[in-house]
Amino acid sequence: MATPTMDKLEALEADSASSHLIAVTFRIRRFNPEVSADASWEDFRIDIDPKERVLDALHKIKWDVDGTLTFRRSCAHGICGSDAMRINGRNRLACKTLIKDIVSFDKSGAVSKPVTIEAIKGLTVLKDLIVDMDPFFQAYRDVMPFLVTTGNEPTRERLQSAEDRERFDDTTKCILCAACTSSCPVFWNDGQYFGPAAIVNAHRFIFDSRDEAGEQRLEILNDKDGVWRCRTTFNCTDACPRGIEVTKAIQEVKRALITRRF
C-alpha cells in the first residue's frame, strides 16, 4: 500500500469522523399549480455537513422542514438520472454535487451566498423541481435507440473487436438524465429540436459495428430539427454528469452525414 499518501488519508478520515456543520441558505424555485399559478423563490436555511450532497440538503428540507418540497430521486449516487436540476445556474445531478463544491465563504468564514436550485429548463415544470419528461423520452424513441440487424442470428455472440467496441464506448454511458438537453439554448428556444441526449443515443448505435440501421438514423437526424440545429456551444458537454463528450459526439454524427462514413 502506498504509504506516502497515508497522512492525507488520515486527515480525511479524521475530518470525516468529526463532521462540522455549516449554515447554508438554499433558494429554491417553487411551483405548485394546486396552490398558485405563479412560481416563486423560497429560502430554506439549514445546517449541513459540507461533505454531504445537495440531495441530502433537499432531503433535510423535505423531511425536517417542509414536506411539500417535491423532487425526483432514486439511487443517490449518479447512476439512475432522476435528479438533474439547475444548481447555481448550472445543470447537475443533486446526488453527485457536494455542498463544499458549490458554496463560497466570506472573510468571517460564513457561507456568503445562497445556493439556488431550480428545475431544468426547456421542459414544462409540473411541480417544484419536477418537469414533464415525456418530450425528452419521445425524442429519444424517435432516433431508433436499439440495435438493428438483418439476416440469421449467429449461434453464439456476434464478434466485435475491442477497438470497434471502444468506438462508441463514451456514448453508452448516458443515463438519460436530460442535463445536456435541458442546458442547450437551441432546445430552450425550440422544443422540436431532438436535443443532445437523443443524438448521443443515436451515436451509440450509428458507430456500433454490429448495427445496420446507421443510414436510417442519419436520415432522421438530417431533419430540420436534427443535428444541424446544434450551434456547438458545449453547454451539453459541460452539463453531462457522466463526462460524455456530447458535443464531440454530435460533431461525429454531423461528419458522418457529410461523408456517409461511420
Kindly list the residues in this chain that would bind another protein in the complex (CB under 8 A). 1-2, 5, 8-10, 12-14, 16-17, 32-35, 62-64, 66-68, 70-71, 73-82, 96, 98, 126-128, 130, 133, 137, 140-141, 145-147, 149, 153, 156-162, 165, 168-169, 172-176, 205, 208, 210-211
Select 37 or 159, whichever has its Cβ closest to another protein: 159
Select 96 or 254, whichever has its Cβ closest to another protein: 96
Q: Are strands 115-118 and 22-30 parallel, antiparallel or unpaired?
A: parallel
Quote the least distance from Cβ 35 to another protein, whole Å.
8
Maximum separation of any 2 CA atoms in the chain, in Å:
71
* Cβ neighbours around 34 below 10 Å, total: 6
Quote the least distance from Cβ 22 to another protein, whole Å.
17
Measure Cα distances from 197 to 80, 102, 140, 175, 178 in Å.
15, 25, 7, 9, 7
Quote the least distance from Cβ 139 to another protein, whole Å.
12
Quote the least distance from Cβ 68 to another protein, whole Å.
4
CA gyration radius for the chain?
22
For residue 48, the SS3 value is strand
Select 143 or 230, whichever has its Cβ closest to another protein: 143
CB 6 within 8 A of CB 22: no
Quote the least distance from Cβ 154 to another protein, whole Å.
8
- Give 87's contacts (C-beta < 8 A, 6+ positions apart): 54, 94, 97, 102, 115, 116, 117
Select 34 or 38, whichever has its Cβ closest to another protein: 34
Select 7 or 106, whichever has its Cβ closest to another protein: 7
